[in-house]
Amino acid sequence: TRPYMDLDRVGIFGGSAGGQSALAALLHHGDVYDAAVSDCGCHDNRMDKIWWNEAWLGWPIGDWYAQNSNVTHAAKLQGKLFLTVGEMDENVDPASTMQVVDALVRANKDFDLVVVPGGHHGVGESAYLVRRRQDFFVRHLLGLEPRHR
Protein backbone atom coordinates (compact mmCIF):
# COMPACT_ATOMS: atom_id res chain seq x y z
CA THR A 1 0.00 0.00 0.00
CA ARG A 2 3.06 2.30 0.24
CA PRO A 3 4.99 2.19 -3.04
CA TYR A 4 7.63 4.59 -1.67
CA MET A 5 8.81 1.91 0.79
CA ASP A 6 11.56 -0.44 -0.34
CA LEU A 7 10.97 -3.62 1.64
CA ASP A 8 14.17 -5.13 0.24
CA ARG A 9 16.20 -2.62 2.31
CA VAL A 10 14.84 -2.27 5.84
CA GLY A 11 16.76 -0.84 8.78
CA ILE A 12 15.85 -0.36 12.42
CA PHE A 13 17.47 1.46 15.32
CA GLY A 14 16.78 2.07 18.97
CA GLY A 15 18.27 2.82 22.36
CA SER A 16 17.85 1.11 25.72
CA ALA A 17 14.84 -1.23 25.40
CA GLY A 18 14.67 -0.04 21.79
CA GLY A 19 18.28 -1.14 21.36
CA GLN A 20 17.32 -4.55 22.70
CA SER A 21 14.44 -4.66 20.22
CA ALA A 22 16.55 -3.47 17.27
CA LEU A 23 18.99 -6.35 17.75
CA ALA A 24 16.12 -8.77 18.37
CA ALA A 25 14.70 -7.73 14.99
CA LEU A 26 17.82 -9.09 13.26
CA LEU A 27 17.91 -12.18 15.45
CA HIS A 28 14.28 -13.19 15.02
CA HIS A 29 13.19 -11.43 11.83
CA GLY A 30 16.31 -11.36 9.67
CA ASP A 31 14.09 -12.15 6.70
CA VAL A 32 12.55 -8.66 7.08
CA TYR A 33 15.30 -6.49 8.60
CA ASP A 34 18.63 -6.01 6.82
CA ALA A 35 20.47 -3.72 9.25
CA ALA A 36 20.14 -2.57 12.85
CA VAL A 37 21.79 -0.04 15.13
CA SER A 38 21.47 -0.84 18.81
CA ASP A 39 22.46 1.75 21.42
CA CYS A 40 22.88 0.85 25.09
CA GLY A 41 20.55 -2.14 24.80
CA CYS A 42 19.42 -4.15 27.81
CA HIS A 43 20.14 -7.34 25.91
CA ASP A 44 19.49 -9.72 28.80
CA ASN A 45 16.74 -8.84 31.24
CA ARG A 46 18.28 -11.07 33.92
CA MET A 47 20.96 -8.43 34.52
CA ASP A 48 18.97 -5.22 34.08
CA LYS A 49 16.98 -3.36 36.75
CA ILE A 50 14.74 -6.11 38.08
CA TRP A 51 11.76 -3.78 38.81
CA TRP A 52 11.56 -2.88 35.11
CA ASN A 53 11.69 -6.48 33.94
CA GLU A 54 9.26 -7.76 36.55
CA ALA A 55 6.65 -5.38 35.12
CA TRP A 56 6.84 -7.14 31.75
CA LEU A 57 8.24 -10.62 32.39
CA GLY A 58 6.98 -11.32 35.91
CA TRP A 59 8.51 -12.78 39.05
CA PRO A 60 10.21 -15.04 39.84
CA ILE A 61 12.78 -15.17 37.05
CA GLY A 62 12.04 -18.21 34.90
CA ASP A 63 13.09 -19.79 31.63
CA TRP A 64 11.21 -17.10 29.71
CA TYR A 65 13.92 -14.60 30.71
CA ALA A 66 16.54 -16.64 28.84
CA GLN A 67 14.14 -17.16 25.94
CA ASN A 68 13.88 -13.35 25.62
CA SER A 69 17.62 -12.72 25.85
CA ASN A 70 19.58 -11.45 22.84
CA VAL A 71 22.59 -13.21 24.36
CA THR A 72 20.80 -16.56 24.13
CA HIS A 73 19.93 -15.99 20.46
CA ALA A 74 23.10 -14.20 19.27
CA ALA A 75 24.07 -17.08 16.94
CA LYS A 76 20.90 -16.38 14.89
CA LEU A 77 22.22 -13.00 13.73
CA GLN A 78 21.39 -12.15 10.12
CA GLY A 79 22.09 -8.79 8.51
CA LYS A 80 24.38 -5.95 9.49
CA LEU A 81 24.65 -4.88 13.12
CA PHE A 82 26.14 -1.77 14.73
CA LEU A 83 26.30 -1.73 18.55
CA THR A 84 27.02 1.43 20.55
CA VAL A 85 27.35 1.87 24.28
CA GLY A 86 28.59 4.45 26.77
CA GLU A 87 31.29 3.25 29.14
CA MET A 88 29.65 5.02 32.09
CA ASP A 89 26.00 4.19 31.36
CA GLU A 90 24.19 4.51 34.69
CA ASN A 91 20.87 3.13 33.47
CA VAL A 92 21.72 -0.07 31.56
CA ASP A 93 24.95 -1.73 32.64
CA PRO A 94 27.42 -1.68 29.70
CA ALA A 95 28.14 -5.31 30.62
CA SER A 96 24.83 -6.14 28.94
CA THR A 97 26.29 -5.04 25.60
CA MET A 98 29.56 -6.82 26.38
CA GLN A 99 27.68 -10.07 27.07
CA VAL A 100 26.00 -9.94 23.67
CA VAL A 101 29.36 -9.01 22.06
CA ASP A 102 30.91 -12.09 23.68
CA ALA A 103 28.10 -14.30 22.40
CA LEU A 104 28.41 -12.84 18.87
CA VAL A 105 32.17 -13.42 18.86
CA ARG A 106 31.73 -16.99 20.09
CA ALA A 107 29.19 -17.51 17.27
CA ASN A 108 31.69 -16.07 14.74
CA LYS A 109 29.27 -13.27 13.74
CA ASP A 110 30.43 -10.00 12.18
CA PHE A 111 29.29 -6.68 13.67
CA ASP A 112 30.50 -3.16 14.40
CA LEU A 113 30.96 -1.80 17.92
CA VAL A 114 31.74 1.63 19.35
CA VAL A 115 32.27 2.05 23.09
CA VAL A 116 32.37 5.73 24.04
CA PRO A 117 34.77 6.44 26.93
CA GLY A 118 32.93 8.40 29.62
CA GLY A 119 29.67 8.09 27.64
CA HIS A 120 26.35 7.76 29.44
CA HIS A 121 22.95 6.26 28.66
CA GLY A 122 21.70 7.35 25.26
CA VAL A 123 25.16 8.13 23.90
CA GLY A 124 23.88 6.95 20.52
CA GLU A 125 22.13 10.30 20.16
CA SER A 126 25.43 12.22 20.37
CA ALA A 127 26.37 14.06 17.17
CA TYR A 128 29.19 11.60 16.46
CA LEU A 129 27.07 8.46 16.78
CA VAL A 130 24.09 9.94 14.94
CA ARG A 131 26.44 10.54 12.01
CA ARG A 132 27.89 7.04 12.35
CA ARG A 133 24.36 5.57 12.44
CA GLN A 134 23.38 7.47 9.30
CA ASP A 135 26.60 6.39 7.56
CA PHE A 136 25.98 2.77 8.59
CA PHE A 137 22.54 2.76 6.99
CA VAL A 138 23.77 4.53 3.84
CA ARG A 139 26.50 1.88 3.43
CA HIS A 140 24.39 -1.16 4.24
CA LEU A 141 20.99 -0.21 2.85
CA LEU A 142 21.88 2.02 -0.08
CA GLY A 143 25.26 0.43 -0.92
CA LEU A 144 26.90 3.86 -1.11
CA GLU A 145 29.84 5.46 0.63
CA PRO A 146 28.64 8.48 2.64
CA ARG A 147 29.85 11.93 1.59
CA HIS A 148 31.04 14.26 4.33
CA ARG A 149 31.54 17.99 4.16
Which band of pLDDT confidence, cut at 50, 70 and 90, is reported for residue 54? confident
Higher-pLDDT residue of 71 and 53 is: 71
Please compute the mean of the pLDDT values over residues 109-137 and round it to a whole number: 98
Alpha carbons 21 and 46: distance in angstroms, whole number: 16
DSSP per-residue string spanning 54-87: HHHH-SS--HHHHHT-TTTTGGG--SEEEEEEET
> Which pLDDT score is estimated for 8?
95
pLDDT digits over 133-144, tens only? 999 999 999 999
Q: Give the pLDDT of residue 59.
A: 82
Look at residue 57 and tell me whether its pLDDT is greater than 70: yes
Q: What is the mean pLDDT of residues 85-110?
A: 97
User: Per DSSP, which regions of the chain are E strands?
Assistant: 11-15, 35-39, 80-86, 112-116
pLDDT at residue 46, rounded to an integer: 83
> Is it the case that residue 149 has pLDDT exceeding 70?
no
